[in-house]
Amino acid sequence: MNIASTEVVIVGAGFSGLAAARILKQSHIAFEILEARDRLGGRVYTKKFDQGYYLDFGGQWIGPTQDRMYALCEEYGVSFYETYNQGKNILDLKGKIKTYSGVIPKLDLFSLLNLDWVIRKLERLAKKIPMNSPWTHPKAQKWDHMTLEDFLKSECKTNSSYAVLRAGCETIFACDPEELSFLHALFYIKSGTSLDCLINIKNGAQQHRIQGGMQLLAEKISEGFQEDIHFNSPVKQILTRENGYTVFTSEREIICKQVIIAIPPPLLKEIGFQPALPQTKTGLLENYPMGQVAKCFLIYEKPFWRTQGFSGQSVSDENTPYQTLFDCSPSDGSKGILMGFSIGSRARNLFKLPKEEREKTMRKVANRYFGPMADDYLNYEDFFMTDETWSQGCYAALMQPKAWTSFQDAYRNSVGNIHFAGTEAATRWHGYIEGAVLAGEAAAEKVLQNLDS
Ligand SMILES: Cc1cc2nc3c(=O)[nH]c(=O)nc-3n(C[C@H](O)[C@H](O)[C@H](O)COP(=O)(O)OP(=O)(O)OC[C@H]3O[C@@H](n4cnc5c(N)ncnc54)[C@H](O)[C@@H]3O)c2cc1C
C-alpha cells in the first residue's frame, strides 16, 4: 500500500471537485483529487468521433444568471455559441403532429389558458420558497407530502394541458412527476431563477453551448493542477483519525487534514466511513435517488430540417420515447445533430431494447417529423448516464416526498472537516453545472476558513 499525505483530499473530478481544486491551488494549499474514472467531468462527458464531430453525452447548456460559468469561460478562453432556435417547433400529442412557434404549443383555447394558469401558479409558489431552507415555508409539510404529479393532476383541467406540462416537467426535473416531492420541484424552480428561465432557450438555461463541448472547459480548468489528479482511484473508505483523516483507495492511503466530497449522493453509500456518517445523512440517502435521462442522437451531413423551416425542437407525449428533441448541431452547421431526451420510465423502457431497435425508433420519429430526408443519417448514438457506475443517473439526485421535511439540509452539512460539495450541495442552480461550481467553491472556502481558525 502506497502511503501519502497532503492537506486536503478532494473526492471526484467533476465540475464541483475541479472548482474546489482551483481555489485551493490559488491559495497555495496542497491537495490531491481522487477520481474514480479515467477522465474528468463526471456528469459532463464530451465524446469525440473519428468522423470529426463530438457529442455532449452529459451536461451541455449554460444560460443567463449562471454567472460563474460565464466567468470561467472568459478566464479560460473558452467560447460559446447560441443554441439554434429558429423556425417551427413540433407538438406530437395523441399521435397527431402540429407545429407552433415560441415556447407554448398550439392547443385548444381552454387548454392554452389552463396551461398558462398552471405555469403562473408554479412560478408564484416557487418565488416564495426560501432557497436555503425550503422546509421552513409555512406549507412545506403539505407540499413535501405531495408529489409533483399530485399537483399536475389537480391543476391540469384538460388532457392536452396535462400532457404538455408533464413532458415539460419530466424534461426539467429528469424523472416521472410521481417520483418527486412537490416541495423539491418548487425549490428547484426557485434555485434556477424561474420556470421561464428553466424552460427557455432564449434568455433561459439552454441559451448557450460550449464550442468544442462542455468537457473542454473542465480540461482547461484542470490545466493548472493536472499533477494533483489521480485517475482510476475510487475512494473506498474514509477513516477519522485524531488530527484528520485517512482516505483509502484500493492501492493508496492518503493522510490529510480535510476532505471535500464532490460525488453524486447515492455513491456516498459505497464509501465506508469510520465512524459512520450521521443518521440524518444516511437516512436522506435512502430517499435521494438520481434522476434518469438518456440522450439519443441522429447525426446528419447537414441540419436539413432548418431549410424546411423547422427548429428541430419537439414536445411529445408518451407515444414516443422522447419528451423533447433539440437541434444540437455544431455552431457552423458542419453536421446536423438531432438530440432526443428520453427521461424517467420512458428511458427505462427504451433502454430495455437493443441499440439497433433504439436506433430504428429514433429514425421513425425523425421521419414522422421531418420526412424521408430523416432516414439519410450518418450515425446513431445514445447514452444513458444511469448505466454509468460512477454517476448512476442525472441530472441530479432528487428529493422524494417527505425528504426535505425529514432531513432538511443534512446533505450539505459538513461532518467534522469533511465537506460536501457537488451540485446537490448547491442552493443556487441546484442540479446544474453552475450549482456544481458554486458548491465546490463554497467547500473550498470552508477549508480555507478552517485553516485560518
Ligand atoms: C444527460 C445530462 C444532461 C445535462 N444537462 C445539463 C445542462 O445542459 N446544463 C447543466 O448545467 N447541467 C446539466 N446536467 C447536470 C450537470 O451535468 C451536473 O449537475 C454536473 O455536471 C454535476 O457536477 P458535479 O461535479 O457535482 O458531479 P459529477 O459531475 O457527477 O462529478 C462527480 C465525480 O466523482 C467521481 N466519483 C464518484 N464516486 C467516486 C468515488 N468513490 N471516488 C472517486 N471519485 C468518485 C465521478 O466519477 C465523477 O467524475 C446534465 C447532466 C446529464 C447527465
Residue 57 lies in a domain: no
Residue from 56, 238, 252, 263 to probe ligand 1 pocket by mutation (most atoms less than 8 Å from CB): 263
d(CA 344, CA 291): 7
CATH value at residue 7:
3.50.50.60
Strand pairing of 96-100 and 229-230?
unpaired
> Does one domain contain both 299 and 365?
yes
Would the pLDDT of 102 be above 90?
Answer: no
> Does one domain contain both 90 and 205?
yes
The rounded percent of the chain whose pLDDT value lies above 90 is 97
> Does one domain contain both 98 and 117?
no
**How much is the mean pLDDT over the chain?**
97
pLDDT band at 240 (very low <50, low <70, confident <90, very high): very high
pLDDT of 410 = 97
d(CA 348, CA 346): 6
> Does one domain contain both 232 and 369?
no
CA of 336 to the centre of ligand 1 (A): 26
pLDDT of 313 = 97
Domain of 126, in residue numbers: 109-194
pLDDT of 105 = 85
CA of 43 to the centre of ligand 1 (A): 3
Residue 336 lies in a domain: yes
Q: Is the pTM of this model over 0.95?
A: yes
Residue 60 lies in a domain: no
CATH value at residue 153:
1.10.405.10
pLDDT tens digits, one per residue of 110-154: 999 999 999 999 999 999 999 999 999 999 999 999 999 999 999
Instruction: Report how many domains make up the chain.
Output: 3
pLDDT of 181 = 98
Residue 360 lies in a domain: yes
Query: What number does the ligand 1 atom closest to the CA of 15 have?
Result: 25
Would the pLDDT of 103 be above 90?
Answer: no
Q: Confirm or deny that 32 is annotated as ligand binding.
A: no
Boundary of a domain, candidates 161, 194, 227: 194
pLDDT of 453 = 75
CA of 42 to the centre of ligand 1 (A): 4
pLDDT band at 407 (very low <50, low <70, confident <90, very high): very high
Q: Confirm or deny that 341 is annotated as ligand binding.
A: yes
d(CA 44, CA 128): 31
Boundary of a domain, candidates 194, 223, 247: 194
Q: Is 61 in the pocket of ligand 1 (CB under 6 A)?
A: yes
Query: What number does the ligand 1 atom closest to the CA of 69 have?
Result: 11
> Does one domain contain both 116 and 231?
no
Cell of 124: 408564484
> Does one domain contain both 174 and 124?
yes
d(CA 276, CA 197): 40
Boundary of a domain, candidates 390, 409, 435: 390
Strand pairing of 31-34 and 272-274?
unpaired
CA of 14 to the centre of ligand 1 (A): 6
What is the distance of C-alpha 250 from the center of its chain?
A: 29
pLDDT of 1 = 74
pLDDT of 221 = 98
pLDDT of 21 = 98
Q: Whose CA is nearest to atom 10 of ligand 1?
A: 432
Residue 50 lies in a domain: no
Q: Is 385 in the pocket of ligand 1 (CB under 6 A)?
A: yes
Residue 373 lies in a domain: yes
CB 238 within 8 A of CB 274: yes
Residue 74 lies in a domain: no
> Does one domain contain both 94 and 206?
yes
Q: Is 33 in the pocket of ligand 1 (CB under 6 A)?
A: no
Residue from 32, 43, 65 to probe ligand 1 pocket by mutation (most atoms less than 8 Å from CB): 43
